[in-house]
Amino acid sequence: MSRSSYRGRFAPSPTGLLHAGSLATALASWLDAKASQGIWLIRIEDLDTPRLVKGAEQGILQQLAQMGMMSDEGVLYQSERKPQYLEAIHSLNQGRLLYACQCSRKKIAQYIQSHPIPDSQEMVYPGFCRPLEPQICDLDEVNYAIRVRIPKNTIIKGQNLHQEVGDFVILRQDGIFTYQLSVVVDDAAQGVTHIVRGQDLESNTPRQIWLQQQLGLTLPEYLHIPLVVNDSAEKLSKQTKAPIIWPQNSQEALIHLYQAGCHLELGLTKPHVTMTVSEWLNQAVMAWKNRREQRLGFFNTTQ
């Protein structure tokens, strides 16, 4: 089969090893790429240094390899991409889209306390610093957070960015580039055409599209898949103590893949003991392709 122009990716943060939830996301992005004869990439999102766990990035790559998923090109590490993020900030700054913010968490929290918002909404920065700093002059000596200036009536995918999200941070006060900025810069640099990720990130999509538009980047397509939850209906995560996946042999790897496949509604039967990981993956690609073409399950609502 010939290669298509499809380029997908899985972009874990090495804040811990993969659990059933992150495995399902990895598998979904891999299946979508392979069902399209595309390229699948792994990107390690290792910018948030205080949250990183030593050795987790190697562990994640090993976990994925155990499940038969390997990056078709070299693995990209965000920690090596800071000049590119700075370049994007320069470009946004030239468009007068940024301002410096020195508000403490406490100041914002106090404001929020006196101006309560419904539970369903996220905290919207009240814009204290918006009028103070028309433009950032010196990006080399940054000791403040940098926020984007979202114009009024900016509506993307039905979300009013100005009202519902507000002026979000792209560089934190501690000098760390945020997810919103780095993900947009890297998806463009890697030529990513399709993003398959967990539903928890869906509300981030409009602000990322806004950044893509301001930076003149090509917009990828998005698919958000349902989250794996535990018995208390909480998203699996390190915080909810989700068990780590570490198969000792291909039989165990198959069981994890099968469970991830059940979550993705592939409708496959339990794998026979003689089945190999790559045989199971081939079967899964066919099932994914079918469901996507027929717009079954979550393909019906999210694409």
Q: Do residues 29 and 7 touch, judged by C-beta distance below 8 A?
A: no
Interface region with Zn ion, contact rule CB under 5 A, candidates 34-42, 65-73, 102-110, 166-174: 102-110
Whole-angstrom CA distances from 133 to 101, 123, 174, 180, 261 are 8, 22, 19, 22, 50
DSSP annotation of 270 reads P
Q: Which is nearer to Zn ion, 112 or 129 (CB)?
A: 129
76: part of which helix (H) or strand (E)?
strand 76-77
Q: Which of 56, 101, 183, 223 touches Zn ion by CB under 5 A?
A: 101
The torsion defined by the Cα of 255, 258, 263 and 267, in degrees rounded to 10, comes to -150
Q: Which of 103, 170, 264, 284 touches Zn ion by CB under 5 A?
A: 103
Interface region with Zn ion, contact rule CB under 5 A, candidates 87-95, 122-130, 155-163, 213-221: 122-130
Minimum separation from the CB atom of position 109 to Zn ion (A) = 13
Q: Which is nearer to Zn ion, 103 or 227 (CB)?
A: 103
Instruction: Say what angle helices 82-94 and 179-189 make with each other, to 10 degrees.
Output: 100
Q: Which is nearer to Zn ion, 92 or 101 (CB)?
A: 101
Q: Which is nearer to Zn ion, 128 or 222 (CB)?
A: 128
Interface region with Zn ion, contact rule CB under 5 A, candidates 57-65, 97-105, 188-196, 286-294: 97-105
Q: Which is nearer to Zn ion, 62 or 135 (CB)?
A: 135
Q: Does 185 bind Zn ion (CB under 5 A)?
A: no
Residues 6+ apart with CB under 8 A from 23: 63, 67, 245, 256, 257, 260
Q: How many residues of this chain interact with Zn ion, rule: CB under 5 A?
A: 4
In a 10 Å sphere around its CB, with 0-12 CB exposed, 13-18 middle and 19+ buried, how is residue 245 labelled? Answer: buried
What distance in Å separates the CA atoms of residue 212 and residue 207, rounded to the nearest whole number? 9
Q: Which is nearer to Zn ion, 101 or 170 (CB)?
A: 101
Minimum separation from the CB atom of position 99 to Zn ion (A) = 8
Q: Which is nearer to Zn ion, 73 or 174 (CB)?
A: 174
Let me know the angle formed at the C-alpha of 85 by 79 and 86, rounded to the nearest 5 degrees: 115
CA 249 centroid distance within chain: 29
Site string for Zn ion, 128-167 (x = CB under 5 A): xx--------------------------------------
Q: Which residues bind Zn ion (CB under 5 A)?
A: 101, 103, 128-129
